[in-house]
Amino acid sequence: MYFDHAATSWPKPPEVLAAMQACLERAGGNPGRSGHRAAVEAHRTLREARRKVAGLLGGVDPDRVVFTLNGTDALNLAIKGAVRPGDHVVYTAADHNSVHRPVHALMLRGVITSTCVDVDGDGVVDPDEVRCAITGRTRLVALPHASNVTGVIQPARDVIRAVHEHDALVLLDAAQTAGVLDLKVGEISADLVAFPGHKALRGPTGTGILYVGPRADLQPLREGGTGGESDSPLQPEALPTRMEAGTPNTVGIAGLSAALDVVRPETALAHERALLRRLVSRLEEVRGIRVLGPADVERRVGVLSLTIEGVDPQDAAAILDESFDLAVRAGLHCAPNLHRALGTYPSGTLRVSFGVSNTEAEVDALAEALKQIAAQT
């Protein structure tokens, strides 16, 4: 029983597998590189996928959709591409290391300065604190749309409104919300939106997306072959090629494209919240189990962290795996600053994350296993 969808969703829809196989069989050329049919078909596959992602984002210009390796790659392209020497970056204690580490690396190199905005006891960012952290030099403010530790949804619109009172850009890390929450850029107004294709969107690993809005002027992180303008030593100016040097992951993107046809964000969110509600109510009476984050599941995506008094999360995860055949994740979940704020540093938490394939019976089995582990201490 698989409860680690926040790391990557699994199993993938059969349509994804079929599309990847069909791509290898029929669209095996290198997109944008040659004029023969296999290359043209590969190019068409990419264009179609870009159009679908643009639709998911509320009908943005497909050329502003950049395919990346994963969520981390999209965040790196956004952060390192947006800042210039002397800039200031604001991020939050709720951020994943995929934001924290690139920001930290730029600081160590003396390129930027930064401010980390704290969170409250539920891991929520206060828009006023973000407003206070912005200086005349702030180029970029990064915010996770929802936490990968507690699943709590951040007040993104309020934060973005606060940031846009200034000149700064907003980078929304939608790793845990793409595929479950509305990502219409026209409504949330983020300048840059980064997300993997392999979590709730249910595409294969090796896929990610960066939406680059009109206010953002990104320097490419990688230069190289794009198939066009070959006589120039310069990376092309136009998106998406500007940010997509090298042969793309056509097979993975074909799988993602098929996933986008079957993913139903609203249904997925309702299903995951129903499972959350069930698990929380099953655990309420269990002595020694503490569920982190807000009690109201409407404030969460399908991710939940808990601790069991007297049991190290790693040990609990190993017991769940070996004795109960239940796959969860234990530890800091790449978000150490959030654990400091939640009081769960350094051992972290046990994280349960749901996907559309999970059932009520599986949740009951998980609750029963957790009860037994808690009873043994």
Ligand X SMILES: Cc1ncc(COP(=O)(O)O)c(C=O)c1O
- Considering the rule CB under 6 A, would residue 173 count as an interface residue with ligand X? yes
- Considering the rule CB under 6 A, would residue 96 count as an interface residue with ligand X? yes
Residue that has been written with the tokens 């643009």 in this structure: 54
DSSP 41-64: HHHHHHHHHHHHHHHHTTS--GGG
Question: Least distance in Å: CB of 73 to ligand X?
Answer: 7
One character per residue 104-143, x = contact with ligand X (rule: CB under 6 A): ----------------------------------------
User: For ligand X, which is the closer residue by CB, 144 or 240?
Assistant: 144
**Of the residues 151, 196, 240, 348, which one makes contact with ligand X according to CB under 6 A:** 196
Question: Least distance in Å: CB of 198 to ligand X?
Answer: 6
Question: Least distance in Å: CB of 219 to ligand X?
Answer: 21
DSSP 187-238: HH--SEEEEESSSTT---TT-EEEEE-TT--PPPS-----SS-TT-SSPPSS
- Considering the rule CB under 6 A, would residue 72 count as an interface residue with ligand X? yes
Residue whose C-alpha is closest to residue 261's, from 43, 7, 48, 8 = 48
# of chain residues touching ligand X (CB under 6 A): 14
- Considering the rule CB under 6 A, would residue 179 count as an interface residue with ligand X? no
Instruction: Cite the active site residues.
Output: 334
Show contacts with ligand X in window 205-244 (CB under 6 A). Answer: 208
Mode of pairing for the β-strands spanning 329-331 and 289-291:
unpaired
> And the tokens for 52?
């679908």
Q: Is 25 helix (H, G, I), strand (E, B) or coil?
A: helix
Quick one: which segment of 35-43, 64-72, 127-135, 241-249 binds ligand X (CB under 6 A)?
64-72
By the 10 Å C-beta count (0-12 exposed, 13-18 middle, 19+ buried), 232 is classed as exposed
Q: What own/partner pairs with CB < 8 Å and gap ≥ 24 does 105-114 have? A: 106/79, 106/80, 111/83, 111/85, 111/87, 112/83, 112/85, 112/86, 112/87, 112/88, 112/139, 113/87, 113/88, 113/89, 113/137, 114/88, 114/89, 114/90
Question: Least distance in Å: CB of 71 to ligand X?
Answer: 3
User: For ligand X, which is the closer residue by CB, 133 or 175?
Assistant: 175
Please give the C-alpha separations between residue 128 and each of 105, 155, 222, in angstroms, as whole numbers. 27, 11, 36
**Of the residues 45, 76, 92, 98, which one makes contact with ligand X according to CB under 6 A:** 98
Residue nearest to ligand X (CB): 71
Dist CA 22 CA 12 (whole Å): 16
- Considering the rule CB under 6 A, would residue 144 count as an interface residue with ligand X? yes
User: For ligand X, which is the closer residue by CB, 91 or 235?
Assistant: 91
Dist CA 98 CA 195 (whole Å): 11
- Considering the rule CB under 6 A, would residue 175 count as an interface residue with ligand X? yes
The H or E element that residue 303 is part of is strand 303-308
Question: Least distance in Å: CB of 301 to ligand X?
Answer: 10
User: For ligand X, which is the closer residue by CB, 96 or 300?
Assistant: 96
Dist CA 127 CA 135 (whole Å): 15
User: For ligand X, which is the closer residue by CB, 7 or 49?
Assistant: 7
Question: Least distance in Å: CB of 101 to ligand X?
Answer: 11
Residue whose C-alpha is closest to residue 92's, from 103, 82, 106, 81 = 103
Quick one: which segment of 43-51, 69-77, 103-111, 279-287 binds ligand X (CB under 6 A)?
69-77
- Considering the rule CB under 6 A, would residue 305 count as an interface residue with ligand X? no
> And the tokens for 150?
């507690």
Question: Least distance in Å: CB of 94 to ligand X?
Answer: 9
User: For ligand X, which is the closer residue by CB, 68 or 226?
Assistant: 68
- Considering the rule CB under 6 A, would residue 176 count as an interface residue with ligand X? yes
How crowded is residue 365: how many other Cβ atoms within 10 Å of its Cβ? Answer: 15
Quick one: which segment of 46-54, 70-78, 116-124, 163-171 binds ligand X (CB under 6 A)?
70-78
Residues forming contacts to ligand X in the complex (CB under 6 A) are 6-7, 70-72, 96, 98, 144, 148, 173, 175-176, 196, 208
